[in-house]
Structures are given as C-alpha cells and as structure tokens.
Amino acid sequence: MSELQQLDVLCIGESLGLLVPESPGKLAHVRALRLGFGGAESNVAIGVARLGGAAGWAGRVGADGIGELILREIRAEGVEVHAAIDENAATAMMLKERPRAGASRVSYYRSVQAGSRLAAADLAEGLVERARILHVTGISAGLGEGPLGAVHAAIDRAHAAGVLVSFDVNHRSALWRDGRDPGAAYRELAARADIVFAGDDEAALFTGVTDPEAQLDAIRAMGSTCAVIKLGDRGAIASERDERVRRDALRVDVVDTVGAGDAFVAGWLAETARGSSIEHRIDTAIACGALACTGDGDWEAAPTRSDLLAFHSPSVDPVQR
C-alpha cells in the first residue's frame, strides 16, 4: 500500500477543454468565447473535494496549453491528479453553444485526441488500490476500446483490492455512431459495479424497460448492490439491499443544467465514503444537483458543505456583510 493518503473517490476518464460564448445567441454571430474545461469524471472528483472528501482523478491530456490548464485547475480544486501526457495527440475540446437563454448545445472534438488514447498502462501502480471508491463512466466505453480496456483493468484491480466500483452511464450518443452497441457495453460495466447511476432514459438503453422502478430491479439483478435512477426535475429513486427511497427535486432558479448529474453523483459518493445512510446520500445528492444548476459551467457551481448548509437554512440573510 502506498504511503500517500487514502482516497475516498478515484475518478478515471477524459477531461476536455471547453469553449463557451460569453452571451446567448447563434455561434455564427458570437465573437467572444470563454475558455475553461469539463469532463464528467473530473467534475465528480471536484464535487467530492468540494464536500471535504479526498478525491483523485486520472486521465490523459495532450502536451499543450489546454492540457496544462486542465491539470492546473483540477489540482487547484484540491483533487489529486494522475495524468499521462500524450506527445502525439492534442487535448480534446468541446464547444458549448447557447442559442438562447436557458438552452445549450454541445459539440465535441475528441475522437482521435489524447483522452481517447487512455490505456491501462496509464494508471499508476497502487493508485486504484488506495481508493475507497473507484468511479468510471460510460463515456470511456464510448471513446473506444483503449479507454474501455483501461476502465475494465481498473475494475479488475478494484475488485482484487476490495475497492467499491461506481459506474455512471453518462450516455453520449455522438460517441456511438460507429455501429457499436452501447447497451452491451453498459450492461457489462453495470454487472461489474457495486453502485450504478443512470438517467431513466439511459437505463432504458441497457435494461430494456422504461419504468424507473422496474429499472432499479433490472440493474440490481445484474449484480450491483446499489442502483440509482436520476429523474432530472422529477428527483431520483434508489435501491440498496432491502431499502428503496425516492426524493423529489429541489426547486432552484436554473442557469445551466450541465454538470448537475455529476454533482449529484459527487454528493452520493462523498456520503458513501462517510458511511452515510441511503436517505442521507440521496438528500445530499439531490441538493448538490440542484445547486449545480444555479451557475454556469460544468463544475463551477458544485457546492461545498457550507453551501449545502446555507441552502437548507433559508432564514439566513442571503447578503453577507
């Protein structure tokens, strides 16, 4: 076992540079773009760190300024970073268009970039083994056989070391236009995970059923201990062993919903690492997802514990003097 600290959650996957218009409107008529970054797995790692957990992220970036920005910013959020630097491929990019207020459309430039070249050899010896929870997503499966193989190798190591495995489907249809079957890949990953997260539309892809309650049963039957169905503005439901819980969504003034699902997962996993009850896990996750909608960006509005406390204390004066 490494002498480095134990990680509550280790997230493995691709992070990308992000370009966002400064104001709503058709991209053809927008001139000012803001540079940042995002990525489901690094979003979760940041969310866990914001909640006081020991979080790590492992991935692959190019030897370029975007890759440098990603690594610097993730570290600045208190996340332990383990990144392979690819000298032969650039860091992937995504472009978020905002055609009108409250709406967004994302385009990806990632198919031959550094993140799609992630391999099992990029994961340092002892890294997976010192985590309480390993978190992966279906995005890695969509990126190709290399990243999918890296994820399965990490799961093998997690199982051998007694590390919990968390899997969030995070379906991206644009990554599956080559004829591969996403449902088969998701079923295989879900069967190897202890905790499975999916939106109800995502769960339908690999369970074959559309009713969220039935989806929980189908996912649990694949072998997971815990299944969680994210229902967006309708809340979430979850099943673990003989317990089943449901919560409505919390109402907030929505600015941007991108990253809300990742904040939800971060809240759930942070509480899992603490040994919290399923009721406390879903309550924290719902609040994290809601607060993530109150600001722009993939991860920037992910809450801290203080943010959660203030959110649940409406009597507190919102103006701090």
The answer to whether residues 277 and 248 touch, using CB atoms and an 8 Å cutoff, is: no
Q: Which fold has domain 7-14+39-89+116-310?
A: UDP-N-acetylmuramoyl-L-alanine:D-glutamate ligase (3.40.1190)
Considering only CA atoms, give the Rg of the chain. 19
Token pair of 206, please? 């690999």
Tell whether pTM > 0.85: yes
User: Taking CA 7 as the corner, what is the angle to CA 164 and CA 141, rounded to the nearest 5 degrees?
Assistant: 55
Give the span between the Cα atoms of 26 and 307, in whole angstroms.
34
The DSSP output letter for 173 is: G
The answer to whether residues 63 and 85 touch, using CB atoms and an 8 Å cutoff, is: yes
In 3D space, the residue among 86, 116, 81, 49 whose CA is nearest the CA of residue 262 turns out to be 49
DSSP 136-159: EEHHHHHH-HHHHHHHHHHHHHHH
The answer to whether residues 118 and 84 touch, using CB atoms and an 8 Å cutoff, is: yes
In 3D space, the residue among 119, 100, 116 whose CA is nearest the CA of residue 108 turns out to be 116
pLDDT at 111: 84
Other beta carbons within 10 Å of 235: 17
Token pair of 301, please? 């509005």
The DSSP output letter for 49 is: H
pLDDT at 178: 83
242-274 per-residue burial string, b: 16 or more CB within 10 A, e: under 16: eeebebebbeeeeebebbbbbbbbbbbbbbbbe
Annotated catalytic residue within 86, 194, 262, 283? 262
pLDDT at 101: 67
pLDDT at 269: 98
Across the chain, which has 321 residues, the per-10-residue mean pLDDT values are 79 96 83 93 98 98 98 98 97 88 79 94 97 98 96 98 98 89 97 98 97 98 97 96 96 90 98 97 98 92 96 65 47
262 catalytic residue (yes or no): yes
DSSP 84-146: EEESSSPPPEEEEE-SSTT--EEEEE-TTSGGGG--GGGS-TTTGGGEEEEEEEHHHHHH-HH
Give the span between the Cα atoms of 223 and 172, in whole angstroms.
24
Q: Where are the domains of the chain?
A: 7-14+39-89+116-310
pLDDT at 1: 38
pLDDT at 97: 85
pLDDT at 102: 63
Give the span between the Cα atoms of 15 and 39, in whole angstroms.
4
In 3D space, the residue among 167, 171, 141, 266 whose CA is nearest the CA of residue 226 turns out to be 167
The answer to whether residues 299 and 259 touch, using CB atoms and an 8 Å cutoff, is: yes
pLDDT at 179: 85
Beta carbons within 8 Å of 21's beta carbon, 6+ residues apart: 27, 30, 32, 33, 34, 96, 97, 98
